[in-house]
Structure 1
Amino acid sequence: MFSFFSKKYYFVDYLADFTDFHNHILPGIDDGSPDVETSLELLERFEKYGIKNFVHTPHIMNDYYPNTPETIGNALKKLQDSQPKEVKNHAAAEYMMDQSLLDKLDNEELLKISGNFALVEMSFLQPPINLNEILFTLQNHGNVLMLAHPERYGFFHKNDLSKYNDLKRRNCYFQLNMLSLSDHYGKSIQKMAYKLLENQMIDFISSDTHRMQHLDKLETIQLKKKHIDFLEPVIERSKALFN
């Protein structure tokens, strides 16, 4: 997609050999792909970008998506039984930080993306009242926390970057959603995405793909040269998680 004459920098041109480690492609267990056929279509589209390695991260939310390692493993097997052999699929989860997550810790280790990295998220309405306690407890159980899409938490936008700085001081890593580089989630989220990038606060990036329309939008993202300079180290760190 890159054209020298038009000087357009398309984001997807920088994703060859990338491992997408935050997505909702496993069939039928959360708000992502509803069935194996859709999952296979999504994997095929990713292959156009040079992406053949995946860590799937279905939601684990106590009331809405009460997934377990068993339900996730079953969905992964269903996909693997149908997929091309050259595609590599593994599974972890995206955990909602709430009391039910803390209740699991005594009996269940969190599914990890890579090494000790666990992918966690918050409600988009408000942070947990006991957020600091949750972070401390999760980390005390040996989890390295990767906060999904920090740019999407509008309640952190009001105080410049102070809330983000506090999370960084608490040893949280930040994972940017690729679509936040566009206005897909709204202009304010796009603005915060670039602000976090320019302040070098973003550690990793992944797609958070739920459906084909997300990949349609992903293909339209064009970047300014200055943003490529900020993004390339983030992309390389993301790749290095799986080297």
Structure 2
Amino acid sequence: MFGLFGKRKNGKCFDATQLKVDMHSHLLPKIDDGSDSVKSSLEMISGLVELGYKQLITTPHIRWDVFRNTRDIIADRLEMIQTELLRNNINVSFWQRQSII
């Protein structure tokens, strides 16, 4: 894809942390194939913040034959993680964009 992630002429790979935004992650607990707990979500988010990310856009899937998520389940988990981020003083913009597939 536009050679962004392959090696450059100087032999180094593109440093995606320069973008400071992760646009596809599965960081909500027990949704999709990502985090399996609130603790795990917070550890992964903290790791991304340590790498320099400022904004995380989680992208849960709604596809009943594979991922049995609903808008209500996703909204509940999003609110739970946002609350925990505040409570644990983890400074990052965290929101979700729904993926239908």
Counterpart position of 1:31: 33
Counterpart position of 2:63: 61
Identity of aligned residues (%): 31
Q: What stretches of structure 2 of length at least 5 have no aligned partner? A: 1-9
- Whichever structure has more helix as a proportion of its residues is 1
Counterpart-to-counterpart distance in 2, 1:16 and 1:27: 27
Which of residues 12, 20, 26 in structure 2 aligns to 1:9?
Answer: 12
Pairwise CA distance, 1:81: 1.4
Structure 1 runs (4+) deviating above 6 angstroms are none
Counterpart-to-counterpart distance in 2, 1:68 and 1:90: 16
In the TM superposition, 1:114-153 aligns within 5 A as none
Counterpart position of 2:5: none
Counterpart-to-counterpart distance in 1, 2:12 and 2:21: 21
Pairwise CA distance, 1:52: 2.3
The aligned length equals: 89
Pairwise CA distance, 1:29: 1.7
Q: What stretches of structure 1 of length at least 5 have no aligned partner? A: 1-6, 97-243
8 Å Cα contact 1:28/1:34 also seen in 2? yes
Between the two structures, name the one with larger relative contact order (CA 8 Å, sep ≥ 6).
2
Which of residues 32, 46, 66 in structure 1 aligns to 2:48?
Answer: 46
Q: Calculate the TM-score normalised by the size of structure 1.
A: 0.34
Q: Which has the larger radius of gyration?
A: 1
1:129-151 superposed Cα distances (whole Å, 9 cap, x missing partner): xxxxxxxxxxxxxxxxxxxxxxx
